[in-house]
Structure 1
Amino acid sequence: MSLAACADLVERGDPDRFTAVMAAPVEMRGRLWPLYAFNLEIARAPWVTKQPMIAEMRLQWWRDVVTEPAPRAHEVAGPLHELIGAAGLDVAVLDRMAAARVWDVYSEPFEDQAAFDVYLDETSGGLMWLAARACGAQDRAEQAVRDYGWAAGLASYLRAVPALEERGRRPLVDGRPGAVRDLAARGLQKISAARVGRRWVGKASPALLAGWQAEALLRQVVADPMIVAEGRMGLSEFARRGRLTWQALSGRW
């Protein structure tokens, strides 16, 4: 039960977030590792078994973890429990993060666009808000952080579309190029809306480093929506490092 174990899990399973955390101030990293390790655990729970019941049981285990008063002897559950208490995190947000992952267990499509929007908000939006809250964001920053998290989650999700389709999923409500372009444009609008509340995020801005690639990736999709289906989304290593360094040094996102 250590932060080092959480960091190791994130490094192996979520390298982009690992890179983002390493760009954050040292004193904030300890508050990000448990959250990102928890997110990794619930994100992969639906994929480690072909039996839906077992996958749901794994997710329920994590839902129990975040609501129980005593910590469990687990490399992620222990540090997460400590963080919940130290940062006063809303366990309902953590619970909804895990509950939303039930969609990943099954092959049914999203019911409608509203359901897709909720999925992104409760997974990516919820995670980014908890990260910002753990790093000291004001309560009134929540909507701005969630908007930014939603857009970052959309960019990551669009990159995963080919892999999801290979696994038999129908990841998008409407996969036609025009609809995909409009979806990416909505993500860019969310980023613009989030920036209106930037001042309320304040010193917690390092928690938003995880979204450092989102704007550039979504702009790629607006310019050419076919890159989603063809799996061509992505930035050069130079662009990735440059954008992250700028965001980390400037505190702007």
Structure 2
Amino acid sequence: MVGSDALDAQVRAADLDRWLSSRLVSDARPRADLIALYAFEAELMAIPTRVTQPLLAEMRYTWWAEQMDGVFAGMARKGHPVLEALADIVIRHGLNRAPFEGLIEAHIGRIHGEPHDLDAFYVGPMQAAVQVLAGPGHADKVVKAGRVRGLAQVGKTEEARALRKAANAALKDLPAVAFPAVASAALSRQDQPEPVKRLRLLAATLRGRI
């Protein structure tokens, strides 16, 4: 439980929007599974803040890429709470390895000045989160929602707004239990107070629309 609490606190500090979205998952275990996914992403996001040189950052990302062998074999590095939690959920939920590797590669690209890969940073992780909550078979329903979130995150709010209608049309067939995994796409501004974000996320989840 201590490990779960630590991951929860890590995600709250690193990614408030998705941490708030995870509060909408009523069952403790799937909520903790979501947090494990988001903690992995938090670890990757933190690397450029801890090292100043691209080569050193790339070395750390390469270490994470190498750890995926153990994670997907169910033999994660002992004593590393994020890797241990990740290994547990990828086995139980049958998660695909490609989005994890794609995310790491996208981070390496960013430190070398490459454009933001929205699908790697936002769509793939959202698809994994949806599978955690609702099982396989829903990946195509959240592609546009992932891009809406990504566009908003990089400041392209007009493009995000223009895509929202199509994203909501695709979300019509998404099981309600999976909606907390996409709810953060309803938040278009980073500077909103936490109580406002909570209300927007709740309203989006009740309506099933971002």
Q: Which TM bucket (shorter chain)?
A: 0.7 to 0.9
Residue 209 of structure 1 and its aligned partner are, at CA, apart by: 2.1
- 8 Å CA contact retained: 2:172, 2:208: no
Match of 2:47 in 1: 45
- Per-residue CA deviation, residues 176-231 of structure 1 (Å, 9 max, x unaligned), is xxxxxxx53332233222222223321311211222313xx4xxxxxxxxxxxxxx
Q: CA deviation at 1:237?
A: 5.0
How far 1:238 sits from its partner (Å)?
5.3
5+ long unaligned stretches in structure 1? 111-115, 159-182, 218-232
1:18: how far off?
1.6
1:155 aligns with 2:128: no
CA distance in 2: counterparts of 1:59 and 1:127, whole angstroms = 17
Residue 183 of structure 2: aligned partner:
209
Superposed CA RMSD in Å reads 2.2
Tell me if the contact between 2:148 and 2:167 (Cα under 8 Å) persists in the aligned partners. no
Cα distance, 1:246 vs. partner? 1.1
Structure with greater Cα Rg: 1
Q: Would the alpha carbon gap of residues 189 and 91 (structure 1) be closer, same or farther in structure 2, given more than 3 Å must change?
A: same
User: Given that residues 137 and 201 in structure 1 are in contact (C-alpha distance below 8 angstroms), is that contact kept between their aligned partners in structure 2?
Assistant: no
Q: What letter matches 1:25 in structure 2?
A: S
Q: How does 1:16-165 map to 2 (within 5 A)?
A: 16-27=17-28, 28-68=30-70, 69=73, 70-73=75-78, 74-106=80-112, 108=113, 110=115, 116=116, 119-139=117-137, 141-158=138-155
Q: Which runs of 5+ in 2 are unaligned?
A: none
Q: TM-score, normalised by structure 2?
A: 0.86
Contact 1:137 1:200 in 2 (8 A): no
In the comparison of the two structures, how many residue pairs are matched?
203
State the AA in 2 paired with 1:192.
Answer: K
Q: 1:249 to 1:195 in 2, by over 3 A?
A: closer
Question: What is the SS of the residue equivalent to 2:134?
Answer: coil
Tell me the SS of whatever aligns to 1:200.
coil
Question: CA separation of 1:189/1:21 partners in 2, compared to 1, >3 Å: closer, same or farther?
Answer: same
1:189 to 156, 162, 169: 162
CA 1:46/1:237 → structure 2, altered by over 3 Å: closer, same or farther? closer
Deviating beyond 6 angstroms after TM superposition, the runs of 4 or more aligned structure 1 residues are none
